[in-house]
Structure 1
């Protein structure tokens, strides 16, 4: 908590896998976790619904997103910026 009382918001980078809905993107966020017994790194992924107010991101783009207040039943992340365009 900062002195203003607001919490710091976590931001992650992911890849847009769906842009079919208006102002909503589905983003796949991948992370690497270490297996508790064998020590090998495993890729784990999470699909998040992200609010994109201006519809600037397209399918295949790498985007930076942050946590925000709940916008709908499934959307609780917002788009910060488009990091790069990837060709699919």
Structure 2
């Protein structure tokens, strides 16, 4: 099963080896037919503490790393998969 890859914006880098990434999705509301924006925050593993607030990054699903981390940072560029 392929692992999901999401693109998001780093909103926090205060924790060691962890970044908080805000991922936004857009969809059309089924009844109102308007475009709706929803966002969700993910904690992702950043081994080198190399990403700062405001960076656009890609995160990939992985096995659990800690209680709240299920994602790892792939990089600033799209993965080659």
TM-score (norm 1): 0.84
Calculate the aligned-residue CA RMSD, in Å: 0.7
5+ long unaligned stretches in structure 2 = none
1:39 and 2:44 correspond: no
Query: Matches of 2:74 and 2:4 in 1, distance apart?
Result: 11
- SS of the equivalent of 1:75 reads coil
Query: Rg: which structure is higher?
Result: 1
Q: For residue 73 of structure 2, what is the aligned residue in structure 1?
A: 79
Q: For residue 86 of structure 1, what is the aligned residue in structure 2?
A: none
Q: Which segments of structure 1 move beyond 3 Å, counting only runs of 4 or more? A: none
TM-score (norm 2): 0.91
The 5-angstrom pairing of residues 1-88 of structure 1 reads 7-83=1-77
Query: Matches of 2:60 and 2:14 in 1, distance apart?
Result: 21
Q: 1:36: how far off?
A: 1.1
5+ long unaligned stretches in structure 1 = 1-6, 84-88
What is the aligned residue count? Answer: 77
